[in-house]
């Protein structure tokens, strides 16, 4: 992450299923859209009110992108962190400058305030993620969880 990058965390709902594909150079990319609607309690009215919804286009790369494509669906409540990036280009038809703000994801997961989940450890084979599948043979953490012999060192 660059020193001048804007790093944010958003909590919201996916507006569509993740769109995953490999780029021409063979890197996996998943694109999602997150709707973020602030909610506040109005003391005078005695009720919750929704603010204006903001829609964030977000991109997850490589193993994170694969996990997003395999794990998340439209409507899922997520917590996402990443850097805000502005993409700029010239419109081919009009020659006008165009721009779009995107959240380049560093991490994302379901909001446990709205759902429950069973975490499955992802494995890596030949530098590529195999997604949320079986853990490597002999992985005591995946099979038994922490024990006295392999307890967390903190």
Task: Decide: 132 and 71 in contact? Cβ < 8 Å.
Answer: yes
Smallest Cα–Cα separation from 81: which of 129, 11, 140, 2?
11
Q: How far apart are CA 126 and CA 142, in angstroms?
A: 20
Burial class (CB in 10 A: 0-12, 13-18, 19+), 104: middle
Instruction: Sketch the domain layout of the chain as residue ranges.
Output: 6-40+50-112
Q: How far apart are CA 139 and CA 133, in angstroms?
A: 13
Question: Which tokens go with 67?
Answer: 């996990």
- Phi, psi at residue 89, to the nearest 5°? -160, 170
Give pLDDT, residue 137: 52
Q: How far apart are CA 102 and CA 110, in angstroms?
A: 20
Give pLDDT, residue 128: 56
Q: Per-residue pLDDT tens, the chain, 154 aa: give them.
A: 456 789 999 999 999 999 999 999 999 999 999 999 999 999 999 999 999 999 999 999 999 999 999 999 999 999 999 999 999 999 999 999 999 999 999 999 999 998 999 988 887 665 555 554 344 455 444 444 444 454 545 4
- pTM, full prediction: 0.74
Give pLDDT, residue 3: 65
CATH architecture of 6-40+50-112: Beta Barrel (2.40)
Question: Which tokens go with 68?
Answer: 């997003």
Q: Report the length, in residues, of the chain.
A: 154
- CB under 8 Å to 103, separation ≥6 — which residues? 8, 10, 34, 56, 57, 58, 59, 80, 82, 83, 84, 85
Task: Please tell me the number of Cα atoms within 13 Å of 29 on its side-chain side.
Answer: 11
Give pLDDT, residue 121: 86
């Amino acid at each position: 992450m660059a020193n001048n990058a804007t790093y944010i965390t958003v909590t919201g709902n996916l507006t569509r299923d993740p769109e995953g594909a490999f780029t021409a150079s063979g890197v996996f990319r998943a694109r999602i859209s997150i709707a973020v609607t602030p909610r506040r309690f109005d003391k005078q009215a005695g009720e919750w009110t929704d603010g204006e919804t903001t829609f964030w286009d977000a991109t997850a790369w490589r193993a994170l992108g694969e996990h997003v494509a395999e794990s998340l669906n439209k409507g899922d409540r997520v917590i996402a962190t990443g850097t805000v990036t502005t993409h700029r280009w010239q419109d081919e038809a009009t020659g006008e400058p165009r721009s779009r703000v995107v959240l380049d994801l560093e991490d994302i997961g379901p909001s446990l305030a709205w759902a429950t989940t069973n975490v499955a450890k992802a494995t890596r084979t030949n530098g590529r993620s195999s997604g949320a599948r079986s853990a490597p043979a002999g992985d005591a953490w995946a099979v038994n969880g922490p024990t006295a012999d392999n307890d967390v060192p903190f």
